[in-house]
Amino acid sequence: MGKCDIAIIGGGLLGTCISYWLSTLYDINVVLIEKESEVAMHTSSRNTGVVHSPFYLNPEKKGKLAKAAFVSHEMWKTFAERRRLPWKMVGTLEVGLDEDQHNVLEKYLEWGPKNGISPKDIELLDGNEVKKREPNVQCYSAIYCKTDTIVDYGAFTRGIKEESQRNRTKFLVNSKVESVKNIANEPVLVFHDGNELQTKLVINCAGGYSLDIAKKFGLVLDYSSLHFRGEYWIAGQQYTGLVKTNIYSVPNYPDFPFLDPHWILRVDGRVEVGPNAVPVPSPETYSGYVGDIETFVSKLADIVTSSTRKLLMNPDFVNLIAKEWLSSVSKSVMIERVQKFIPKIRPEFFSERGTAGIRTPVITPDGKFVPDVMELEGVNSYHVVNYNSPGATGAPAYSAGIVKILQEKGLLNYKTQPKDSIWTF
């Protein structure tokens, strides 16, 4: 059986950034466990690729993610410069289509500065001012945020992995944690191939599977989760110049953790429309609606017996899901949603699907979506669950915050031996 000081489950942005911070602070044996052959094979590559300025997040409900996103912006910029990775500040227009949505935008003008954004970086424009900047965009009003930036988060994760490896973090890939047991009061992780790893502390950053892993440690047994696939359509090259900035719209249902599809610029020059939010049975059902039968049946059973059942009694939620599903089976329905603010686009402008990604929001025992990230402490374990958008943006600062919490809880009782670091802890 292998042994280490700290085992991190999950090689997405979160786990990889945590491993990096630990590697810059301590000379200890840290192992990051990833079931795939490389880091960032799931959500950390399969996202919209925006470094968000958190003007649209309610500081009272999503304060942790908002603060981390704000602080991380400069950190990612420094990282991109150092590693010579693309960093394109393209800005975002968040459009409101009527007076009600305009009122939401006015609220954003208050939230932005509360989340740290300088008032000079966000401005409220009326529909005519928007037209002058983007003649093909139609709306009642919009917030323009000039600092929103597009990047390749997969490349960012692989870059952080290399920095962490240089400081001697071990990346154990192709290793899936199947179960956990206890030996001499220490957790022992059991892998799919029967190998085992004994550790003093487990940090669970398993993305869409983090709730399942937390349950293996006996935590949050009465919580459940749903998986929503976000799909994209790629615009033909001749149409990419129609709009030159990212266009988001005010969400119709702010209590649900997904936005309407938007117009997004990719860092490699592509332009896409998406993502929608189609329910699927697992965090990795990237095509089809059922996945493998075993997963489907087990998710169905989970829905019927868990807190998700209560959510399904909410008619707004059921309506939304029906709309999202339609936009998956019909490209025209998806494009129609964006036509509301870019009337010129047509379904035939989009002939290829983009790379889908899956969100896994967590549901409370009384059937409500958990709005912010959840941090759970177990015996010799710490779990980050519901780490959703803008989690990629916030990863550098959020992960530093997790390491600080672990220090304060006395779970990192090692002598610090700080090394040169890209960022200041």
Ligand X SMILES: Cc1cc2nc3c(=O)[nH]c(=O)nc-3n(C[C@H](O)[C@H](O)[C@H](O)COP(=O)(O)OP(=O)(O)OC[C@H]3O[C@@H](n4cnc5c(N)ncnc54)[C@H](O)[C@@H]3O)c2cc1C
Torsion (CA) 258, 48, 271, 94 in degrees, nearest 10: 50
The least distance separating ligand X from the CB of residue 347, rounded to whole angstroms, comes to 21
Question: Least distance in Å: CB of 55 to ligand X?
Answer: 14
Q: Taking the complex as a whole, how short is the minimal distance between the CB of residue 205 and ligand X, in angstroms?
A: 5
Q: Which is nearer to ligand X, 134 or 148 (CB)?
A: 148
Q: From the list 146, 176, 244, 353, which residue makes contact with ligand X (rule: CB under 6 A)? A: 176
Stretch that binds ligand X, among 31-39, 131-139, 324-332, 346-354 (CB under 6 A): 31-39
Length of the chain in terms of residues written: 425
Listed as own residue / partner, the contacts of 345-351 with beta carbons closer than 8 Å and 24 or more positions apart are 345/235, 345/239, 345/242, 345/273, 349/235, 349/236, 349/239, 350/233, 350/234, 350/235, 350/236, 350/273, 351/234, 351/236
For ligand X, the closer of residues 33 and 66 by Cβ is 33
Residue of 6, 23, 32, 34 that binds ligand X (CB under 6 A): 34
Q: Which is nearer to ligand X, 41 or 143 (CB)?
A: 41
The verdict on 385 binding ligand X (CB under 6 A) reads no
Interface of this chain with ligand X, residues 190 to 209, rule: CB under 6 A = 205-209
Contacts for 261 with CB less than 8 Å, ≥ 6 apart: 273, 274, 275, 276, 327, 334, 337, 338
Sheet of 149-150, strands arranged across = 50-51, 149-150, 88-89
Single-letter amino acid, residue 57: L
How many chain residues bind ligand X (CB under 6 A)?
39
Q: What is the smallest separation between the CB atom of 387 and ligand X, expressed in angstroms? A: 4
Residue whose CB is less far from ligand X, 44 or 224: 44
Pick from 230, 258, 249: nearest CA to 342:
249
Cβ 104 vs Cβ 98: under 8 Å: no
* Binding residue (CB under 6 A) for ligand X from 14, 125, 342, 363: 14
Binding mask 333-372 for ligand X (x = CB under 6 A): ------------------------xxx-------------
Cα–chain-centroid distance for residue 414?
31
- Residues 46-85 touching ligand X, rule: CB under 6 A, are 47-50, 52
Q: Can you tell me whether residue 394 is helix, strand or coil?
A: helix
Contacting residues for 107 by C-beta, under 8 A, at least 6 apart: none
Write down the least CB distance from residue 372 to ligand X, Å.
Answer: 12
Q: How far is the CB of 103 from ligand X (least distance, A)?
A: 25
Stretch binding ligand X (CB under 6 A), from 12-20, 286-294, 317-325, 398-406 = 12-20
Q: How many CB atoms lie within 10 A of CB 313?
A: 9
Number of neighbours of residue 240 by Cβ within 10 angstroms? 17
Q: Is 131 helix (H, G, I), strand (E, B) or coil?
A: helix
The mark string for 204-243 relative to ligand X (x by CB under 6 A, - otherwise) is: -xxxxx--------------------x-------------
Q: Report whether 227 contacts 296 (CB < 8 A).
A: no
Rank residues 116 and 127 by Cβ distance to ligand X and give the closer one. Answer: 116
Among 96, 257, 390, 396, binds ligand X (CB under 6 A): 390
Q: How far is CA 209 from CA 42, 59, 174, 226, 358, in A?
A: 11, 27, 16, 11, 11
Task: State which of positions 256-275 bind ligand X (CB under 6 A).
Answer: 275
Q: Name the site residues for ligand X (rule: CB under 6 A).
A: 9-15, 33-36, 41-44, 47-50, 52, 176-177, 205-209, 230, 275, 357-359, 387-393
